Structure 1
Amino acid sequence: MKKDLLFYKFNSCKKTLLVFLFTLITCYAAVAQTRQITGNVSTADGIAIPGASIKIKGTTTGVVTDVNGSFKLSAPANSTLVFSFIGYLSQEVTIGSGNVYNIKLSATVSNLNEVVVVSVGYGTQKRTDLTGAISSISAATIAKLPVTSVEQALQGRAAGVQVTNNDASPGGNVSILIRGTGSLAQYGNSPLYVVDGYPLETGGMNNINPNDIASIDILKDASATAIYGIRAANGVVIINTKKGKKDGTQVELNTYDSYQSKPKEYKLLNAQQFATMANAQAANDPAKQFTTFSGWSNPSSLTNADWQNALYRNGLTQNYNVAIRGGNDKVQSATSIGYYDQKGIVIGSYFKRVTLGLNLDYQPTKWLKSSTSAKYAYQDSNNPFGTGSNLLGNLAQLPPTLDGGSNVTSQINDGKGNYGYYNPVYTYIAKYSNPVYSINDNQYKNINQFFNANSSLEATLIEGLKIKTSGGVTITNLNNSFFQPEDDRLVNQYGSVAGATQNAFFSQSLNTSFDWLWENTISYDRTFGKHTINFVGGVTEQELTNNPFNGSGVPPNAQIRDLSQVTNLKLGTTAQNIQSLASQFVRLGYNYAGRYFITGTVRRDGSSKFDVGHKYGTFPSGAISWKAKEESFLKGVDWLSNLKFRGSYGEVGNEGPIGLFQYEEQFSTGLASTNSGNLGYPFNKVYQVGIAATSPANPNLRWETDYQTDIGTDMAFLHGDLTLTVDWFNRKSKDFLLNIAVPPQTGYNTETLNVGTMSNKGWEFALNYNHNFNDFRFGAGLTISFITNKLTALNSGSTFITNPLNNPTGAVNLNGQGWTVYSETHIGQPVGEFFGYKSAGIIQSQAQIDALNANASAKTGGLNKYYYQAATSPGDRLFADVNGDGVVNASDQVSLGNPQPKFFGGFNLDGAYKAWDINLYFYGSYGNKILNYAESNQETLQNRGFAGIENLSQEYYNNAWTPTNHSNTFARIYYSDNSILNAVPSSQWIENGSYLKLKTLTVGYTLPSELLKRLSVSKLRIYVSTQNLFTITSYKGLDPEIGTQGGFGTQNGIDNGTYPSSKFYTVGLNVTF
């Protein structure tokens, strides 16, 4: 019995040992057969697909591709890998002897066919089936750009789209022109933004988190934009945000930190040089108009104030984004949260943003589907000098001196609440006359809240036939406030009046808007043999209600920021404005055999912005295309992958420049520039509250209309690796709107009229190359646009327009300088050309002046004794007598240059080798001119500023004309040169604005997947990036990238010295779980 028991135990142990050995051998064999698989997933045209899924068939093991479409995966030999991505046919590959698999996925036969989905407004189309001109930007491209807003991501990425930073401040605005300037009205050239199907009437693009964007499609020609009718003349930007996927849950973390260096600075005089110059001007001032100060008598004793250095700092940006996306066959969801915090390079400036996003799709049955999209954004921002202000220009004008005075520090800021001042006139209130104090003590607060939600329900009635209803709301809440303490307010209001007192000041501006949208559409898309029909029609209503409110008063103390608690309350605008739009539209497309395409679109809009006779407009368009590559005579041409020709013509509108009820007579209350600050008009030397008419009624006011022709071709070569798109367009903008000055005897100031016609003609080129060479992937892209703009007609009978447009005298006053018109727009010439005198050097002697004056007297029969001014002296600028009448006056002002470039574009280089990736992106323009107004301030004494004199540039001070230095470039230094001699618009201040800038350089490394398995991480990429690394230009100013001033189409290329740009250095992380 005992022996049997021992035998049983031995057999049991033997079996266990055999099982163990078998398991060990099996595991070893399995390990030995496990392979490290790498590769790339791309489209049929070689475009990388980020986020594509690679799974081992029959298991849950898998990875997703990174931003470059690359992947790494450990898989058993002879196993099958399943490659999939939404919108593309899944592909199964059995692992053979190789370890590298570069997979090209074919698009499905659904609406995501041929490369990528293209949004065309109320639907999508295959890219190869398009008849209109549409540029697209993918999520993969956006992911490589550390940008704040959607607009910045567009720069140079789409042909025909000119994107320029107007202001480099945190959250600063960007100007976008799609196919040129079509309007002269303020903000009249802005495109329509449609986000997840919702046309946004309120809220800027800063409310949209770039990390949430799946695609951007830019509709450029009238055939593409006509579906949006009266709001489509400036192009349409369609943005789709990321949605959930059916193949499980994915978590993404994207974050980066950026260090921003201090900007370039103007080279100005220091305190000693400034005081020496000022004393010399006072000594040579026979009229004793110039008052110097005792503190300047000994320049060496002065403390130098470097205002630029005092106001600049190193900036820091932090950006964090987390997204969870997933789902199954019935429900897919995507949620995201983002936090962005930028501390600007100017003290007191910042931009903070929190964003939330939700996309939810639910399909309970095959024929019914619902979708919901919601977005929320909270912004807190501050630019102490105001958006678009000439910050650098103002700093350059401040005297660089400090006078400690009694009980005041001789430092700009001693860190103890004491501030030095540069102007001894204000010795009784030392804290003022110091911009650092003004920023630190004044308090600005700009809060912007944005909420958008849109839901839809779609039913498939029969195959191809769908009906859809959707509705949504957009709510914005703006709250801007400003607090100014007693001492800062004092000097601002009373100047140097000794013993004056003034209360603190608080102002607040509020605006709550509510916008609702309801749309109903029906669509039909079917193929019958060689015939394909697609149709969409619908009705839409949208209404926007604005509730603006603003006021000001005296707060009881520095802590109170509430208008309800102030005294001496003064209310400004308090009104409710409601504008609505009701529309019907239809688009019908037909193609035969995938070769011949035709599309027709009609939209009819009714807008409340216009009077009864002009409320409704109809906007038709038509387009055709021929896919020549599908013809039998080209099918055998292997080197040609695609050849298509397109043509379109259409009509679209622009109601943007029109305000509500602007066709009615306009009334206004005035804000008196007095110490009391009363609202009203002067009567018997007392300001009384009142209302007066400012503009007459105009029942014939109508929208601006664009008529556009487009002819284009799409080509692809080398199996789709090389693509080329070329478009020629002719855009005619009719009935553009202007606020025209009217004679004062009419009792009005201005009148809004449809006054003229403009044209924009141009060529657009987009060239792209992408190819995979085993472990190495290379890509390059180029966009370049040639656009010619000109004014073709004026209905008023005039031949040109001056700037600014609403000044009765046609003169402009920039920062107190008495410049006359600096730009004009003439029939047959570009919009906003610079106008002024042509500089012919410097007058070197009195004999030269005498000869010029004698010639003037002779040619005018003694009516003019002086060629220019009676005070003209040696060292003053010599201006050309263009018309030869012997006298230099306004009739001798000529065109000095065009601020619009001859061409602009972007160039992109993209490469990857195994785990490494690199991207370089350049942007530039050529042939445009810049008015260097900031430089003109530094090269003339304007008799402005608190000290009565302003600072100058080192270059001007060291090279100005003197009796012993006969410069032929720089005029003499002359006090009170205020629009009399040299400080006038002239060719001296016009420069070549061409430039090429390296906008971004990014290098990234993706960690091997085997190192990430233990952390359940699918992908981890680390990257470093820099922005604005260098600029190639001959422009002498700080930055040649100059946008528009105030949003006006006529005010381009003016360098006032706005908030400066600088270099960014970024470290980022992309993680996928």
Structure 2
Amino acid sequence: MAPKRLLQGIALSIFLLFFSLSTALAQNKTITGKVTDSKDSAPLVGATIQVKGSRSGTTTGTSGDFTITVPASAKILAVSAVGYENQDVPIDSDNLSVLLVASTSNLDEVVVVGYGTARKKDLTGAVTKVSAKEFNTGVVSNPLQQIQGKVAGLVIVQPGGDPNADLTVRLRGATSLTGQPPLVVIDGIALDDFNQAINTLNPTDVESYDILRDASAAAIYGSRGANGVIIITTKKGKSGRTQVDYAGSIGISNISRKLDMLSADDWRKAIPNEWRDYLALDLANNPNPDSLAQANLTALDKGVNVDWVDEITRPAVFTSHSIAIGGGTGNFNYRASVGYVDQQGVVVNSGKKMTTARFTANQKGLDNRLNVQYNLNASTTKRDFLPDQRNTSQGVTDGGSAVFNLAYNYLPVYPVKNANGSYFQIIDQDLENPLARLKDVYSKRQDNFYQGSVKVDYEFFSGFKLGTFGAMSRYNDVFDYFEPKIPEKNNSPAAVKANANKAIFNGDIHANYRKEFGAHSINVTGVYEYNKFVNDGFVAGARGYIVPELLNNNLGANSDIRSNDIGSYKGEVKLVSFLGRVEYNFDDRFLVTANFRRDGSSKFGANHRWGDFPSISAAWTMSNEGFMKDIPWLNFLKLRASYGLTGNQDNIGSYAYQLLYGTQGLYYDNGNLLQSYGVSQENNPDLKWEVRKSMNFGIDFTLLNNRLSGTLDVFSDKTQDMLFTYDLPQPPFLTNRVTANAATATNKGVELSLNGTIIRNNNFSWNALFNVGTLRNRITNLNGNFKGTELVISRRLYGYADGRGLSNAYISVLQPGYTAGAFWLWEFAGLDATGKQLFNDYDENGKVVGTTRDPKDDDRVFIDPTPKFTWGFTNNFTYKDFDLSFAIRGVQGQKVFSNTILNLATITRLAGNNILKEGLTNGITEQPQPSTYWLKNASYMRMDNATLGYNFKMNSKVVQYLRVFFAANNLFVVTPYKGIDPEIKVDGDRRYIDRNYYPKTRSFTFGINMSL
């Protein structure tokens, strides 16, 4: 009986078990869904989905999809993702669509800080991160345009609209007298040439930018971080199904603004009334000057009406295509991409075509203790330069200034072509058919770039990793130039070919130890670095070619070659470094970071080859203190302070400390012309590092339930032992120039960034970002000592105005007490009764005692052209599946010297040259002189970018994500400045001087983003 009851009991238990399981299953339900970014509907990978109040849950896959089984009684899913606001989602359907809004605080966002990462809330230095979802879109010829106006203290200037032109980039101002850009680090590889490195990137491959703004953050890069650091992280593959991404766009650009030149009809009306009064007519021998003027007018006027700026420009088409494939497993992921950009310039025969390829992979092994990263990159850029361009910098004699000068001066009554189809030509000072020059001159360059890197890390025991990294980068630039014979010019056909090579090796051995014990945590990093840079190249040219069809492909077929037509060079720089960093965290309240780096550079003499660059920073997270917990409107508050030293060596050559010999010209000896040699550079064994000492105080805060966040930084930097070229007396020295350390300067400023979610609900959101920065730069000393000789510079002539009648017309200087490149000008005091210029006359006490037509240097005044502040304002809106964003940026208090207008707004150039309409009304009857009259207020507000997008809801098993957008760039600019554009170069020796820039463009773009 007992066995029978036992069997009955077992049967009953099994029945009850199945009953309970079936009941439980009946009470559960399966929910599917997709999590996407509310701004652009991009799928979010790795988002966490949990039943609210429960610890069980799941994460989203590569397409943002999820599946979760929940109790039938569950009402709410809690959805979260790093960098996004947490969201409670009602379970009102078996298939949910979840839109997460980017967090305004992003305190858990991971920031790249050099040889490691850190959570944003753990930072002790001034670091700003800009992610892909915040980038500017549209026609982006340079990746850094994606973050233009996004970061306080980071000034990115695009002088003109030339797609081949470099950007001017300054972070917290220029540290050296000539100005240097920040160090750029791409996927851990620090490259020495900022613009060259940036130009190898396809903008669609960039994932994020991390900007290290203060010395504490940048000190890990030592001497190379003196001007700040921009760390660029490219997109990587993610584990999961293979995903194919496509991004394509097409756009068109036009000139956004033109100078108000005389039209042909304006010119015809002006000449009879004005020409005889201002041209050197021989009135004694020609008693009827009106008849003479009319005769000359008839000879000049060809009966046409030509706008020469319109003739040399065109609507420029932009196309961009990028395709990427990525995926992987738990131990291996990869991403491969190829891209193509074709960007015409608005000026005829200018533009660039860029092809890029990039492959990244990450392999884990040995129980995840071994991690190997691979990177392979390549790019080829074919550039169509303007006739006088040799490189990508835009200055006075390059960047197309000559062709615009020709277009402005050539008369609108001249035809483009003769009746036989040849170009109409009048050759004279500032006169030549600009379209013919653009069409006839062959000026091209091809930039080739190849790079490979491997990083290997192994975790020997918990918390301790040891690794090594190696990278090889190679640049090859080939320049081709040919100018044919122009009969009216009587020139000799000229050809040039140049080849420039650069090989860079970066290697390091790095170790990291991380340990937590109780409320304490410590993170120690140590690195040995070795960097080698080798440059070499050649240039060859000649004249007298009789077969123009060969261009520059047969240099030997010349009839005129000279000694300076052939040149070659080779240089090498080595940089060896030891560095360490210690990060200490106590209870998430007190944070301390200490860095020390020792750099040795071959650029300096043996006496001072090594430099030591320490830094320390600390932070106090006040919001984690008990006495702050009951403040309902305060979510996060952290105080920061830092002090550190960084060095600079970038603005000197490879052998600046050595005694060098060079060619000194030809001499005659026994019937032969021989080359002479002599000392070309004085040796300086005491040449040493330029050092920047930086102090920073900052506040990070998040308020109102994370609806408003921001940072405020105040900094004070002092740069000493600045590297500069000084004049030497002869004798006793063998040459008159030397590179030495002498000057000092200061940079001080305030930076504020705010990020707020103004509206946020299920259908609509509005997020706004605002930043503003001020900067004050002052030279405090220019004097020094070299081998017992005082290097005394009370004032150094710097920038100059150029044009007809102007020779050595220096208008800016290096002067203690003023910013580098401060203007030094005569003060315009009006015109006399005959239209002659008057200037204020100062006495020895600096008081105005009258006016003069013959001013002296003592009558000049100093004027700071730098802005009082710069700012940026970005707004992002979403409504259901639509998104709209626009970015405005501005500069306040900037002054620009209008060199172009000075040359064109003068009636003295009539009738053989065209002029601005202003030249008929300003009353000046003589050659204009550089003065404060031409120094103009160039403050501006620019609508930089606006984008409207639509995100399709995809139910397809093939297409996972689809977005289309329409973008506009440079929609408008509000400015009192009358030149082409107020945004011009702010570096070099002609900063804030406007001289015939490539015109700014306005562009409109249609694009598509798709994931399969």
TM-score range, shorter chain: 0.7 to 0.9
Output the CA distance in 1 between the equivalents of 2:982 and 2:285: 40
- Show the counterpart of 1:880: 840
The 3 A distance-change label for structure 1 pair 652 and 206 is same
Name the counterpart of 2:745: 758
Query: CA, structure 1 residues 285+319, in 2 after alignment: closer, same or farther (shift >3 Å)?
Result: farther
* Shift of residue 789, structure 1, vs aligned partner: 1.1
Q: Structure 1: how far apart are the matches of 2:167 and 2:905? A: 30
Contact map agreement 2:906 2:916 (CA 8 A) in 1: no
Which residue is equivalent to 1:486?
485
Match of 2:601 in 1: 607
AA paired with 1:604? Answer: R
Q: Distance in 1 between matches of 2:776 and 2:120?
A: 28
Q: Does 1:737 align with 2:723?
A: yes
User: CA offsets, 1:951-992, max 9 Å, x none?
Assistant: 2211221x24xxxxxxxxx312x4xx3xxxxx2221110111
Whether 2:1008 is the aligned partner of 1:1069: answer yes
Separation in 1 of the partners of 2:952 and 2:679? 69
> How far apart, in 1, do the equivalents of 2:139 and 2:70 lie?
39
The 1:285–1:77 alpha-carbon spacing in structure 2 relative to 1, beyond 3 Å, is farther
Partner of residue 139, structure 1:
132
Please, what TM-score do these two structures have when normalized by structure 1?
Answer: 0.81
Q: Which residue identity does 2:984 align to in structure 1?
A: I
Does 2:903 correspond to 1:937?
A: yes
Cα pair distance change 1:814/1:898, threshold 3 Å: farther
1:38-49 alignment, distance < 5 Å: 41=37
**2:916 pairs with 1:953:** yes
Q: In 2, are the aligned partners of 1:581 and 1:608 still within 8 Å (CA)?
A: yes
Please show how residues 409-420 of structure 1 align to structure 2 within 5 Å: 411-413=415-417, 417-420=421-424
Whether the 8 Å contact between 1:117 and 1:127 is mirrored in structure 2 is yes
Which residue of structure 1 aligns with residue 659 of structure 2?
665
Question: Where does residue 8 of structure 2 map in the other structure?
Answer: none
Partner amino acid, structure 2, of 1:775: N
Matching residue's letter, 2:681: S
**How far 1:760 sits from its partner (Å)?**
0.6
Shift in Å at residue 131 of structure 1?
0.5
1:901–1:90: structure 2 CA closer, same or farther, 3 Å change rule?
A: closer
Residue matched to 2:633: 639
User: Does residue 448 of the first structure (1) align with residue 387 of the second (2)?
Assistant: no
Instruction: Provide structure 2 residue ranges, at least 5 long, that are not aligned to the other structure.
Output: 1-25, 51-56, 785-790
Deviation at 1:780, TM superposition (A): 0.3
Deviations 1:100-150 (CA, angstroms, capped at 9, x unpaired) = 66576999xxxx994322111111111111010011110212374542222
1:195 aligned partner? 186
Q: Per-residue deviation at 1:838?
A: 1.0
2:547 to 536, 541, 557: 557
State the SS of the aligned residue for 1:204.
helix
- CA deviation profile, 1:23-61 (whole Å, cap 9, x unmatched): xxxxxxx9xx9999677558xxx9997643679999999
- Where does residue 5 of structure 1 map in the other structure? none
From 173, 176, 179, the equivalent of 2:166 is 173
Seen in structure 2, the aligned counterparts of structure 1 residues 316 and 744 have a Cα distance that, compared at 3 Å, is: farther
How far has the Cα of 1:481 moved from its partner?
Answer: 1.3
Structure 1 residue matching 2:724: 3-state secondary structure? strand
Matched residues in 2 for 1:585 and 1:752: separation? 28
- Pairwise CA distance, 1:88: 9.9
CA contact (8 A) 1:379 1:447 kept: yes
The 1-side partners of 2:46 and 2:972 are apart by: 39
Preserved contact between residue 44 and residue 60 of structure 2 (Cα < 8 Å): no
1:1001 corresponds to 2:946? yes
Q: For 2:620, which of 613, 623, 626 is the aligned residue?
A: 626
1:894 aligns with 2:860: yes
Contact kept? 1:73, 1:1009, Cα under 8 Å = no
SS at match of 2:795: strand
Partners of 1:923 and 1:264 lie apart in 2 by 18
Name the amino acid aligned to 2:183.
L
Match of 2:764 in 1: 776
- Offset, 1:436: 1.0
Contact 1:53 1:83 in 2 (8 A): no
CA contact (8 A) 1:272 1:304 kept: no
- Please tell me the root mean square deviation across aligned C-alpha atoms, in Å: 3.7
Change (3 A) 1:759 1:700: same
Q: Which residue of structure 2 lines up, in the alignment, with residue 314 of structure 1?
A: 315
The equivalent residue for 2:13 is: none
Contact 1:880 1:892 in 2 (8 A): no
Listed one character per residue, the Cα deviations across residues 140-195 of structure 1 (whole Å, up to 9, x for unaligned) are 1237454222222232111111111134201311111111121123xx41111111
Q: How many residues are matched?
A: 937
1:272 match: 268
Q: Which has the larger share of strand?
A: 2
Residues 1023-1052 of structure 1 show CA distances to partners (whole Å, capped at 9, x for unaligned) of: 1111111111111112111223xx41x532
Deviation at 1:324, TM superposition (A): 1.1
Equivalent-residue separation in structure 1 for 2:517 and 2:255 (angstroms): 64
**1:533 and 2:522 are equivalent in the alignment:** yes
Shift in alpha-carbon separation, 1:443–1:84, aligned structure 2, 3 A: farther
Q: Distance in 1 between matches of 2:610 and 2:895?
A: 41
Distance 1:492 1:233, change over 3 A: farther
Report the Cα offset of residue 765 of structure 1. 0.2
In structure 2, the partner of 1:383 is 385
For each residue in 1:458-488, what CA deviation from the matched residue of structure 2 results, as whole angstroms up to 9, or x when unmatched? 0001111100101010000011110011227
State yes or no: 1:153 paired with 2:146. Answer: yes
Cα distance in 2, alignment partners of residues 94 and 462 from structure 1? 45
Where do residues 83-482 of structure 1 align in structure 2 (5 Å cutoff)?
Answer: 95-96=91-92, 102=98, 114-142=107-135, 144=137, 146-185=139-178, 188-202=179-193, 203-269=196-262, 270=264, 271-273=267-269, 276=272, 277-282=274-279, 284=281, 296-297=297-298, 302-365=303-366, 366-384=368-386, 385-386=388-389, 387-388=393-394, 389=399, 390=401, 394-395=405-406, 397-400=408-411, 411-413=415-417, 417-423=421-427, 433-482=432-481
The equivalent of 2:815 in structure 1 is 826
Letter in 2 for 1:550: V
Corresponding residue to 2:496 among 507, 512, 518: 507
Per-residue deviation, 1:72: 12
Q: Distance in 1 between matches of 2:730 and 2:62?
A: 74
- 3-state SS of 2:1001 partner: coil
Give how far 1:245 is off.
0.3
Q: CA-to-partner distance for each residue in 1:624-669, whole Å, 9 max, x for gaps?
A: 0001111011123232111000000000011000101111234444
**How many angstroms apart in 2 are the aligned matches of 1:685 and 1:942?**
50
In the alignment, residue 161 of structure 1 is paired with which amino acid? Answer: L
CA distance in 2, matches of 1:934, 1:901: 21
Matched, 1:721 2:687: no
Distance 1:540 1:266 in 2: 52
2:17 match: none
Which residue does 1:971 correspond to in 2? 924
Mark the CA change 1:378 to 1:520 in structure 2 (over 3 Å): closer, same or farther. same
Shift, 1:351, TM fit: 1.0
| Maintained 8 Å contact 2:907/2:924 | no
CA offsets per residue over residues 61-85 of structure 1, 9 Å max, x none? Answer: 97846xxxxx999999979999787
Contact 1:261 1:1062 in 2 (8 A): yes
Q: Distance in 1 between matches of 2:1010 and 2:176?
A: 45
Q: Determine if the alignment matches structure 1 residue 1054 to structure 2 residue 993.
A: yes
The whole-number CA distance in structure 1 between the counterparts of 2:631 and 2:97 is 28
Report percent identity of matched pairs: 28
Distance 1:231 1:288 in 2: 70
Residue identity matched to 1:593: D
TM-score, with length taken from structure 2: 0.86
Partner Cα distance (2:657, 2:358) in 1? 40
